[in-house]
Chains A and B, each alone.
Chain A
Amino acid sequence: MAEAKIWVKDLWKTFEPSEKSAGGTEALREINFEIREGEILCLLGPSGCGKTTVLNIIAGFQKPSRGEVLVNGKSVDKPGPDRGVIFQEHGLLPWRTALQNIIFGPQMMGKRLSESLALADQYINLIGLSGFQNHYPHELSGGMQQRVAIARVLVNQPEILLMDEPFGKLDAQTRATMQILLLDVWEKIRPSILFITHDIDEAIFLGDRILVMSCRPGKIMKEFKVTLNRPRDYEVVATLAYLEIKREILNLLKSVEQDHSCDIEANRIG
């Protein structure tokens, strides 16, 4: 396991008792997995199964009740620029233009303005944001907002990207474009990616491996290896290998008794 970039060790999370649930809520139980150098690992699960909690713990936003997360062998205790986070909401600072949002990271790291701008320029081109530098986030479409969100993370040159359903709010067509864009960028700079989604097709299309989570408490049910060739394009969804793995995942989900809040999105067939 020398090449594990992130090692999630025996993670448990129970939320404190509240008005809604007197006994506290067990969100995660015994989560174990690793993310290898340069791979895309998809965490697939229904809404409310705790996949965002896993990401929040790896990002350092929340503390686990038990267990720990090792990044490059070091235990995570707070957020940091080594782990770039991309949220479902773009999370851009609304009073900053796209460019100002992108140079936020370099500025925080104490880089000089000229250096920050040069770095920003590089990623603006890579992500396809040319011409939109001076737009404020509310002036951009959902897809462009997420492009800025990705660029502002990449500009810090993190080895790890944590992506929490980043395309979940986009329309199907934009989502497809963004998926291709992500794979394209990934091929070029090869970060290790944890990609959280509730969309089976998205998980298969992007991932090297898929971990399927179950609901309440969140547990990892099964790991699937995606052996589809890279680089991938949308032709892949019509291949037998693709359909085979999709069938396996669907069967797994069907075999698990699910309550109403645990519906997984499985209606989008290539």
Chain B
Amino acid sequence: MTGGASIWTHLFLLGVPAAILVTVVLHFVLRGRRRVG
């Protein structure tokens, strides 16, 4: 953590894009598995 920015800033800058990426990849993989199954 850096002194100048709050936890919300870090979540906003890094957490949000990471969450979006994980969600779309998981959605793609899980749906692929469901279709194969």
Asked if chains A and B come from one complex, the reply is no
